[in-house]
Amino acid sequence: MKLFGKTMTPDPEVVVDIQNLQKLFKLHHNYSLKDSFVNLFTRSNIHKTMFTALNDINLQVHRGEAVGLIGRNGSGKSTLLKQITGVQRPDAGSVRVKGKMAGLIEVGAGFHPDLTGRENIYLNGAILGMSKNEIEQKFDEIVEFSGQAKFIDTEVRFYSSGMYMRLAFSVAIHTEPDLFLVDEVLSVGDNEFRKKCIQKLFELKNENRTFMIVSHSENQIRQICDRVVWLHHGIIMADGTPDEVYPKMNAFQS
Amino acid sequence: MVKKISKLLRTSSEIVPRDKFYTPGSSRGFLDLVNQRFLLKLLVAKEVKVRYRGSYLGQVWTYIKPFVLFLIYFMFVGYVMGGNDRVYNFGIYLFAGLSLVQFFNEVFRNCTISLRSNAALVRKIYLPRELFPIAAWRVALTHFIPQFVILLVASFVIAFSSHPVNLFFLDFKHILAFCLGILLISLFAIGAGMIFATINVFYRDAENLVEVITMCSTWISPVLYDYRLFSEIAPHWFYNIFMCSPISAAVELFHYAFVYDRNFRGDRWAIPVHWVYAANFIPYTLIAFGISGVFLVVGQILFHRFEGRFAQEL
Ligand SMILES: Nc1ncnc2c1ncn2[C@@H]1O[C@H](COP(=O)(O)OP(=O)(O)OP(=O)(O)O)[C@@H](O)[C@H]1O
Ligand SMILES: [Mg+2]
């Protein structure tokens, strides 16, 4: 960037570029043809049935940044992450990304309860974009990180929910993504595992990988993130360091 | 050119551009599957495993179900209703058509529910969505293979016992007819399945409609009776429509591959009746391929058009 003829330090590279993003949802779903037929004839106020989950979002995330997404329940945090992973498509505006993503919109989304831990590691690894070789190489590391070596050939349905999350998180974290999208997954697992996860996240951060993390725990966000974005009813209310944003949000809510 | 192909064949993790912006969730349809062969394999293995989990006989059920169906039809349509006297080699004739229609039913049904039954995945992680119908097709194919083996052995035995020279019946024409039959029914079932899968995301009625269609499929194709029987009673235009349907055409390809031709050489049927029909056989098959192609293209277009909404509607 040039300012008064002086060259300033170049901006770090943008890896997520969101422009004027808007996302609408239907408030009422019709699941049968009959219902929508009835609606067709009654023409019941169509405009009132749409709901704006995200409105005019503009956000640039740079390589190596760890961005925390905060806000009340239903403010659109998960929806925003879903637009970035490409699971959903925006109704207006654009999302562009660079590099490989691993989206933990929900840990263990690709897990199947009837498969064993081992099978799930393979399936989930492939779902998150790993090749067969990569999975085979990392397999032992994944198992070790999860601490589930003993139960690796047990069907996942017999795991406790914490064990399940551990394994799922281990797979996701070993996919070596450039961009890591985490949605409220750090809140599962016991203290020991949470510490291990945060440590691993720091490691990845030092490798200049990018994070977007949703969490309701101020502590966790402050620990990991150097930038916080506050969403409220689908609008970005504030964007800055945790020390800038949290006081604003707390003042607003009280 | 070689570079382009090798780039296409690389795994998905390598294909994501690291230094160039791309729009997440934009797909190239079936082309994306080239990079996802490993994942496809795992999804198929998962389906097969999950389906028979906790059952004592497990995979054996894939043999039992079609076999029971076959026995029932063979006894009642073959003996009680006299199919045995009307159709030469009725057993093989029936089994060839029946296994193909069963294959169609399974592909069609599995494709239709494939998005819903994988809702957890579709909703949370972006993957090329074509993976799910294609995986459903592959699962049905693994179930079809044992039936095919039985069919092959049976027709070998019969061909050999009736006319030893015919051991060489497995010539190019028959193998081609078999492959075309599989191809035709797969294209049609996947195409129709993708159309219904898309509708099924928004309206669950699609699932029920598919149930009705699969209930009828055995009867609206020449499986339990001979096409001649139908041509005698049906008006000509209706008969033409009937024979152009991809299911009928594929069934006839199978009949050709396993029953007809070889039995006409020096057998008790002096006049090869099938040859009379053969005059129209090729145009019927071509039209059926055309219809299947249209279904597949429409299916892919619909899929592509509504793909962006799958995650939020499920
Ligand atoms: N598929 C959908 N169909 C209709 N409405 C939806 C859909 N997904 C989300 N919404 C709505 O969008 C809004 C934002 O939801 P979202 O899940 O993004 O909230 P959130 O910020 O992640 O909340 P939480 O902190 O509870 O996880 C909610 O009002 C929700 O009802
Ligand atoms: Mg959420």
pLDDT value, residue A129 = 84
Nearest Cα residue to B218 out of B84, B95, B110: B95
* Residue B205 vs residues A30, B108, B218, B295, B304: alpha-carbon distances, Å: 11, 15, 22, 19, 21
The binding-site residues of ligand 1, defined as CB within 6 angstroms of any ligand atom, are A 25, 53, 71, 73-79; B 312
Residue from A29, A31, A79 whose mutation best tests the ligand 1 pocket (most atoms within 8 A of CB): A79
- pLDDT given at position A4: 45
Nearest to B42 among A25, A85, A123 (CB): A123
Q: What pLDDT is attached to residue A67?
A: 93
**CA A68 to centroid of ligand 2, rounded, Å:** 13
Tokens for A254, please give them. Answer: 């009280």
Residue of B273 and A21 predicted with greater confidence? A21
Listed in sequence order, the residues at least 6 apart from B27 whose beta carbon sits closer than 8 Å to its beta carbon are: B128, B129, B130, B304, B307
- Residue B114 Cα distances to A6, B34, B91, B106, B123, angstroms: 59, 19, 33, 11, 13
Asked if the Cβ–Cβ distance from A112 to B43 is below 8 Å, we say: no
Burial class of residue B309, CB neighbours in 10 A (0-12, 13-18, 19+): middle
Angle, helices A161-173/A117-127, rounded to nearest 10 degrees: 40
8 A C-beta contact, residue A76 and residue A53: yes
3-state class of B147 per DSSP? helix
Instruction: Determine how many CB atoms are found less than 10 A away from the CB of residue B156.
Output: 15
Tell me, in angstroms, the distance from the centre of ligand 1 to residue A218's CA. 21
pLDDT higher at B167 or B103: B103
| Chain B residues closer than 8 Å to A112 by CB | 46, 50
Task: Give the tokens for residue B249.
Answer: 């055409």
Average pLDDT over residues B153-171: 61
Q: What is the side-by-side strand order in the sheet with A66-70?
A: A101-104, A179-183, A210-214, A66-70, A227-232, A235-240
Whether B136 shows a pLDDT value over 70: the answer reads: yes
* In A72-118, beta strands by DSSP E: 92-97, 101-104
Token match 């009340």: residue? A72
Which site among A131, A182, A210 would you substitute to test the B interface, given the most B Cβ atoms closer than 10 Å to its Cβ?
A131
Q: Measured between CA atoms, how close is B299 to chain A, in angstroms?
A: 20
Residue A92 per-residue DSSP state: E
How much is the ipTM here? 0.82
Whether B132 contacts B200, CB under 8 Å:
no
Would you report the helix, strand and coil content of chain A in percent, each value rounded to 5?
A: 40, 25, 35
Calpha distance A161→A184 (Å, rounded): 15
Residues A181-205, mean pLDDT to the nearest whole number: 81
Residue B187: pLDDT band with limits 50, 70, 90: very high
B127 vs A contacts (CB less than 8 Å)? 127
Which residue's CA is minimally distant from atom 6 of ligand 1? A25
Q: Is A190 helix (H, G, I), strand (E, B) or coil?
A: coil
Residue B305 confidence (pLDDT) above 50: yes
pLDDT-wise least confident of B23-32, B98-107, B220-229, B283-292: B23-32
End-to-end CA distance of chain A: 40
CB pairs under 8 A between A and B: 111
Tell me the two tokens of residue B83: 């199919």
- Which residues are bridge partners to A236 per DSSP? A231
pLDDT reported for residue A69: 93
Q: Give the best-scoring range by mean pLDDT among A35-39, A99-103, B48-52, B296-300.
A: B296-300
CA B154 to chain A, closest CA, distance in angstroms equals: 37
DSSP B154-205: HHHHHHHHH-GGGGGG--HHHHHHHHHHHHHHHHHHHHHHHHHHHHHHH-TH
Q: Report B:207-246 residues touching A (Cβ under 8 A).
A: none
